[in-house]
Amino acid sequence: MGKGRTLAQVYRQFGEVDAAGTSPLYERVAVVLSESEEALRAIEAAPARKRHPTLILAALHDLALAGRAPELAAAYAAGDVDAAASAAIDTLLRMTDSVVDIAVRRRTRTDEAGHAAVLYPAIAEVARRVGAEAVGLIDVGCSAGFNLNVDRVGITYGNGQSLGDPSSPVQLSASVVGDRPIPTRAMPEVVARIGVDLDPVDVTDADDARWLRACLWPDQPDLSERRARLDAEMALAATAPPQLLRGDPLEVLPDAFARMPSDVLPVVTTTWALSRFTLESRLRFLHRLDEAAAGRAVAWVSVEGVGVAPSIPTFGDRRASGHSIIGLAVFDGSAMRAEAVGRCWSRGRLLAWLAD
């Protein structure tokens, strides 16, 4: 929560600012929650860091999708903002323990669909530099592991270029800024896929899959398109489920490297994951990659805010400038070579490739 702001102010701002114009349902529900002392007291039953509107609203949506809050589900389906606000308060008061339980166990999941458009050319490029004919992917902060299927989706860029599998059920598009083309080298064969997360989501588990749907806002303008893409991504992931390692990435990474076949290039990917780490933990993360490279080359592809990924150059850009840096690093023995190869915006839906 923002410093010094009351819970009521947080919910009112979420409704009037964050949800306004995107989700009339969430706009109304959040404002009505902000005006109900009973509702706010119920939300305060959750730990302080678990009271954010996106998480509590997703927990309510989860109960609606599970058939446990039929009035709320009906109001959402009808787009009836007043009925939704009334049903949300009723569900929250009647099922406070269930809402809190979901909020405590879960994190809200953002749409990961844009990541592949940035990751695919970067992984292919780092493999080319090392001369690797096969790679093993380790995604840190993997959530549902969709990044681990980067080679199995189709990507079309606004400049007419395309990468990946044109027949994949998951088709993504991204815009390109600037006149440099995206490198169109195909990614080498992916022989291992390992996700590392404090709380990974298993798409083959019905509760986990429903939670991903619950994180979509029930009336956002492109909901049917997003829902269809999420279902396609989950179905694709379920056809070759990655290995999911649960725990602190810094503790679990050595195990992930140990599971990599010895004749492949391990490529660690982080997409907007390191901002959740303290600076000290980011440096320990770098150290983990360095340790793993004692006996083999290890690559790291990072897509992080300006200045977030340690040792990745930033083109001199200012921090918190609204875009992210695409970085490549190769660890080999005691040496590390790091380079920034591009910028991206809007979670990878817009990118500028800048490397030669």
**Per residue in 140-153, pLDDT tens?**
998 888 999 999 99
Please check the confidence at residue 113 and state whether its pLDDT lies above 80. Answer: no
Average pLDDT over residues 282-293: 96
Average pLDDT over residues 22-32: 97
With 0-12 / 13-18 / 19 or more C-beta atoms within 10 angstroms meaning exposed / middle / buried, residue 100 is: buried
Sequence-distant (6+) residues with CB within 8 A of 263 are 134
CB 326 within 8 A of CB 117: no
Average pLDDT over residues 56-60: 98
DSSP structure string for 116-141: HHHHHHHHHHHHHHHT-SEEEEEEET
State how far the Cα of 157 lies from the Cα of 246, in Å rounded to an integer: 34
Average pLDDT over residues 13-26: 95
Query: Which residues in the chain belong to E strands, given as ranges?
Result: 134-140, 154-157, 162-164, 171-176, 189-197, 243-246, 265-271, 298-305, 324-332, 335-345, 350-353
Average pLDDT over residues 279-304: 96
169 to each of 155, 259, 308, how far by Cα in Å? 11, 29, 33
Q: Could you identify the residue written with the tokens 């395309």?
A: 162
Question: Is the model more confident about 110 or about 274?
Answer: 274
Pairing of strands 350-353, 243-246: unpaired
Over residues 178-228, the pLDDT tens digits come to 989 999 999 999 999 999 999 899 989 999 999 999 999 999 888 888 899
Q: How many CA atoms lie within 13 A of 73 on its CB side?
A: 10
What per-residue confidence (pLDDT) applies to 142? 81
Separation of CA 320 from chain center:
19
CB 102 within 8 A of CB 48: no
Quote the pTM value. Answer: 0.89
**Neighbouring C-beta atoms of residue 330, cutoff 10 Å:** 20
Q: Taking the CA atoms of the chain, what radius of gyration do you get in angstroms?
A: 21
State how far the Cα of 187 lies from the Cα of 308, in Å rounded to an integer: 26
% pLDDT > 90, the chain: 86
What per-residue confidence (pLDDT) applies to 111? 61
Residue type, 114: G
State how far the Cα of 148 lies from the Cα of 163, in Å rounded to an integer: 16
